[in-house]
Amino acid sequence: MRRGATLIELLLVLVIIGILTAIAQPRVRNFADGLAVTRATIEIAAAHRRARIVAIVRSRTVELTVGAAELSIRARDDTSTIWHLAGPSASGVTLTGPTRVIVFSPVGISTGLSNASFQLSRGAVSRTVVVSRLGRLRIVP
């Protein structure tokens, strides 16, 4: 008696694996989209906190630029960048709206038109980061 599998048995196993993959793929994709959007919201919130701390520590007016391609912090009277990170679009997350600049005073309070809403989405998942004039952050699912 020979050991092994016949061609029909192998094809049956491949068909079952294909059906299971087709069932699981949308859930896995939705999970990956959720992770990417959550990461992008955390990065924007962390950049906001970092810009506030940089303004306080350096006792300078600091600008946080939030765009789809890049997040960056620079001193207002300087052209060099203090900190930067790839924006949400690097991970396939869409940031709706124009690039926003939030200005922090040397005491860490945002000045000017600092109210902002950053809506992030990928696939069927979306979240919004809401920044108040006083610098409070809220993430809305």
Longest pairwise C-alpha distance within the chain: 84
Give the tens place of pLDDT for each residue, 20-49: 999 989 899 999 999 999 999 999 999 999
- The pTM of the full predicted model, rounded to 2 decimals, is 0.83
3-state secondary structure 67-90: CCCEEEEEECCCCCEEEEEECHHH
Length of the chain in residues, anyone? 141
**Domain boundaries 7-140, corresponding CATH code:** 3.55.40.10
Give the tens place of pLDDT for each residue, 79-119: 899 999 999 999 999 999 899 999 999 998 888 777 889 99
User: Mean pLDDT score of the chain, rounded to an integer?
Assistant: 92
Q: Which two tokens stand for residue 27?
A: 């859930």
Domain residue ranges in the chain = 7-140
Q: Yes or no: say if 44 and 64 are a contact pair by the CB < 8 Å rule.
A: no
Give the separation between CA 141 and CA 54, rounded to whole angstroms.
28
What mean pLDDT is predicted for residues 60-88?
Answer: 94
Q: What is the pLDDT of residue 14?
A: 95
Nearest to 119 by CA among 107, 132, 130, 128: 128
